[in-house]
């Protein structure tokens, strides 16, 4: 199995790395290489074969499906694992939007609710909600995009008061977030999928607000299977999920929820997660996932990028 760990592009300048992606900035463009690294609980947990390609190609699919709502950063996809994008000035806020109340850890929305909190992110939650219940309408729960460690919760008022961005831009972000989530929900539904929650990142490019990063991927969203949701919800069992929650639940079963050194993923869980990433890509796009397991992915990336020069 060929795993995409990282790529060094000698003539692209300094390599920068996030938790899952490597990138190079050349003038006003950013070359983003999606790797197979996986993180959860803000920790690096190892590698999931094909994950980078799924994320890259799924984001490209969604950028195309939503470009009438807001301009996005995508310029081209020169390789299954690579996206060339407009390099924006990042707005350090993650616009999280949720249609359901859920979560695994004590700091999740469900975790807070379970402990008795009824005002979360400055939003009032009604009594009597159960885990994984649909909310009356989607809610936006923004967090700061922390340089390291955990993201911090924010209320709308804090964003405006702390002058992280202007109110005018924030309102544009809110509007786009609601519209993107509505579009995503509708397209997922057609494939028998519930878009449970997701997060968007925005940036400023040429003095304009644009959508950046990734969109509606299993790393940035929760996806549940629609036709078994109700039955499972009524029985109080977890919905069938096709996102990172599957892995978080596995870690929780091993007694790990983010503190200290994470246990090593078993071969079985790695292959189950990989299959789920591929499966959600195929369900949503209606396309067959073409895995290039036999070739050296780093070499292919270098070749495809060389052709551009």
Ligand X SMILES: Nc1ncnc2c1ncn2[C@@H]1O[C@H](COP(=O)(O)OP(=O)(O)O)[C@@H](O)[C@H]1O
Which stretch of DSSP H or E encloses residue 206? none
Nearest distance from C-beta of residue 255 to ligand X, angstroms: 25
Contact 30, 83 (CB under 8 A): no
Among 36, 79, 213, 245, binds ligand X (CB under 6 A): 213
Nearest distance from C-beta of residue 71 to ligand X, angstroms: 11
| Two structure tokens written together for 85 | 């994008």
Contact 21, 76 (CB under 8 A): no
Tell me: does residue 19 bind ligand X (CB under 6 A): yes
Nearest distance from C-beta of residue 18 to ligand X, angstroms: 2
301-305-307-309 Cα dihedral, nearest 10 degrees = -160
x/- letters, 140..179, toward ligand X (CB under 6 A): ----------------------------------------
Tell me: does residue 86 bind ligand X (CB under 6 A): yes
Query: d(Cα 222, Cα 235) in Å, to the nearest integer?
Result: 20
Which stretch of DSSP H or E encloses residue 214? none
> Could you tell me which stretch among 13-21, 48-56, 124-132, 134-142 binds ligand X (CB under 6 A)?
13-21
> Between residues 98 and 199, which has the closer beta carbon with respect to ligand X?
199
Query: d(Cα 221, Cα 219) in Å, to the nearest integer?
Result: 6
Among 8, 11, 18, 146, binds ligand X (CB under 6 A): 18
Tell me: does residue 15 bind ligand X (CB under 6 A): no
Nearest distance from C-beta of residue 308 to ligand X, angstroms: 18
Let me know how many helices (H) and strands (E) the chain has, helices first: 8, 16
Contact 58, 279 (CB under 8 A): no
**Which residues on adjacent β-strands are paired with residue 180?**
none
Q: Enumerate residues 20-49 that contact ligand X by CB under 6 A.
A: 20-21, 23, 30
Q: Beta strands 21-26 and 123-124: pairing type? A: unpaired
Tell me: does residue 56 bind ligand X (CB under 6 A): no
Tell me: does residue 94 bind ligand X (CB under 6 A): no
What DSSP designation does 80 have?
Answer: T
Contact 140, 170 (CB under 8 A): no
> Between residues 38 and 194, which has the closer beta carbon with respect to ligand X?
38
Tell me: does residue 199 bind ligand X (CB under 6 A): no
Among 80, 203, 239, 262, binds ligand X (CB under 6 A): 203
Among 51, 73, 199, 302, binds ligand X (CB under 6 A): 73
Three-state DSSP class for residue 117? coil
> Between residues 237 and 308, which has the closer beta carbon with respect to ligand X?
308
Contact 195, 218 (CB under 8 A): no
Residue with tokens 């959860």: 40
Query: d(Cα 149, Cα 8) in Å, to the nearest integer?
Result: 26
Tell me: does residue 65 bind ligand X (CB under 6 A): no
The site that binds ligand X (CB under 6 A) totals a number of residues, namely 16
Tell me: does residue 87 bind ligand X (CB under 6 A): yes
Q: Which residues bind ligand X (CB under 6 A)?
A: 18-21, 23, 30, 73, 85-88, 90, 201, 203, 212-213
């Amino acid at each position: 199995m060929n795993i995409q760990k990282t790529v060094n592009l000698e003539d692209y300048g300094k390599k920068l790395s996030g938790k899952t992606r490597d990138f190079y900035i050349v003038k006003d463009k950013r070359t983003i290489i999606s790797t197979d690294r996986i993180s959860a609980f803000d920790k690096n947990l190892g590698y999931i074969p094909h994950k980078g390609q799924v994320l890259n190609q799924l984001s490209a699919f969604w950028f195309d499906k939503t470009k009438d709502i807001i301009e996005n950063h995508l310029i081209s996809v020169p390789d299954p694992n690579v996206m060339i994008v407009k390099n924006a000035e990042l707005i350090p806020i993650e616009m999280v939007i949720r249609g359901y109340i859920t979560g695994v850890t004590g700091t999740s929305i469900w975790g807070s609710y379970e402990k008795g909190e009824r005002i979360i992110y400055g939003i009032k939650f009604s009594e009597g909600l159960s885990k994984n219940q649909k909310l009356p309408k989607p809610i936006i729960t923004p967090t700061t995009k922390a340089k390291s460690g955990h993201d911090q919760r924010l209320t709308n008022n804090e964003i405006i008061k702390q002058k992280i961005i202007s109110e005018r831009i924030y309102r544009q972000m809110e509007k786009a977030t609601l519209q993107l989530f509505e579009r995503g929900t509708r397209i997922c539904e057609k494939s028998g999928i519930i878009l449970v929650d997701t997060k968007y990142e925005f940036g400023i490019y040429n003095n304009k607000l644009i959508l950046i990063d990734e969109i509606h991927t299993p790393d940035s969203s929760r996806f549940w299977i629609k036709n078994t949701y109700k039955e499972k919800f009524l029985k109080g069992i977890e919905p069938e999920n096709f996102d990172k929650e599957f892995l978080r639940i596995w870690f929780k079963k091993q007694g790990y929820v983010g503190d200290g050194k994470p246990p090593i993923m078993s071969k079985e869980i790695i292959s189950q997660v990989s299959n789920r990433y591929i499966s959600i890509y195929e369900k949503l796009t209606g396309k067959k996932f073409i895995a290039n397991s036999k070739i050296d992915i780093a070499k292919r990336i270098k070749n495809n990028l060389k052709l551009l020069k």
